[in-house]
Amino acid sequence: MRIIGVDPGLTNTGVGIIDREQGAVGPGQGLHFIHTELIKPPRGDLSSRLLYIHEKLIEVIDRTAAQVMAVEDQFFGKNVQTALKTGQARGAALLAAARRDIPVMLFPPARVKQSVVGNGQASKEQVRHMITQILNLQSAPKSLDCSDALAVALCCAFKPDF
């Protein structure tokens, strides 16, 4: 199963793709790193930025043959404006999945961190370190947004009923 993980944002949207082999029974087993990239919309009005994110995600889905999308969900934010903007970027991702008819799973940040690090309050650096270990990467992803996206994909892969 090819999973595309998305860490949505209007400035940076992290994307991480992994494969999970059929019948893999435990964390770290049957998992393969495929691709990661950072989508950086050009400055401009909100609708143009959202369209850019949407179109780039469709391109990645098509290019990598992703079969399911896992998206970091946020239930609240300290800054209301930031939470609203992140929600709009999340909407662009959900629309891309719907346009390609692939299922979507939403995971709150604490659950993603818990599934990858074992601590729902882990730092982004701790998440990056564990992603590198779990996927046996030669080097850590350069962008924290990309390592977060891979963590979301892994959270989906670790889901017991997946």
Active-site residue (options: 7, 19, 37, 148) = 7
Amino acid at 36: T
Query: Phi and psi dihedrals of 25, rounded to 5?
Result: -105, -20
Query: What is the distance between the terminal CA atoms of the chain, rounded to a whole angstrom?
Result: 10
- Is 19 catalytic? The answer is no
Q: Is 145 a catalytic residue?
A: yes
- State the catalytic residue, choosing from 19, 37, 73, 145: 145
The answer to whether residue 72 is catalytic is: yes
3-state helix, strand, coil in the chain (%, to 5): 45, 20, 35
Q: Which helix (H) or strand (E) segment is 36 a member of?
A: strand 31-39
> Which one of the listed residues 19, 37, 72, 148 is annotated catalytic?
72
Active site residues per annotation: 7, 72, 145
